[in-house]
Amino acid sequence: MRLAPFKKPFPIAMTALLVVTPVFVSACGSSSSSSSAVTTLVVTQPTPTEHINSVSPAGPSIGDINSFEAPIYQNGRLVGELSGVRQLIETSRDLQWVTKDRIPGVVNGVTVNEWSQSIEFYFGNNNSLVVTGQRLVAQQGSNTGFGLITSAKPQYLAVTGGTGIYRFAHGELKTLRNSDGSYTQTFELQLG
């Protein structure tokens, strides 16, 4: 399902959309310090509509592609849409994580696969943010519907850029799956 084209830019006041929290950062190894404002942007979305292109063999296979889209809201008001694509890069049976927070193929007791993912959050009037990175997604059969990220722990993606008022943006996106299946997306951005 594709969202209907926008008839006009989203009626959002950018100052209301953004909550600015100043954070002061001192330069390491330097006698001078600089300040940099961090902007926090919080939006929510329902479970996305998905489009799956599975490769052989049946079941999770390296190269499977899953594209998705969903409207995005702020304080219950439609402010844009997201669209993204993820590609399966490693299945649970092959995962050989060496870091302490990842047990091979299992996160919080749920069997997961590892996907490479890129998402565009479009806010209308040529204002968008792009994020990318790896995601752990519950293996098919572990959950019904769209491949859900594990709800017990947020996952993070890098903000790699943007357009319009976000053209110099960089930072981090924290995604949290809520108990009702919706998602809370929290951006921590530096805009310059």
Structural domains in the chain, CATH included, are 39-190 (2.40.480.10)
Task: Name the pLDDT band for 13 (thresholds 50, 70, 90).
Answer: very low
> Are 172 and 160 contacting, i.e. CB atoms less than 8 angstroms apart?
no
**pLDDT tens track for 105-151:** 555 566 777 778 999 999 999 999 999 998 777 665 543 334 556 66
Is residue 32 packed enough to be buried (19+ CB in 10 Å), middle (13-18) or exposed (0-12)?
Answer: exposed
- pLDDT of residue 102 exceeding 90, the answer is no
Least confident residue range of 14-18, 42-46, 58-62, 139-143 = 14-18
> Are 130 and 160 contacting, i.e. CB atoms less than 8 angstroms apart?
yes
Q: How far apart are CA 52 and CA 185, in angstroms?
A: 23
30 vs 97, residue with greater confidence:
97
**pLDDT tens track for 48-86:** 888 878 777 766 777 888 899 999 999 999 999 999 998
Output the pTM of the full model. Answer: 0.71
Q: Strands 170-177 and 106-107: what pairing?
A: unpaired
User: Which pLDDT does position 153 carry in this prediction?
Assistant: 73
pLDDT above 90 covers a percentage of the chain that reads 36
Q: Rounded mean pLDDT of the chain?
A: 74
* Cis status of the peptide bond prior to 48, with omega within 30 of 0: no
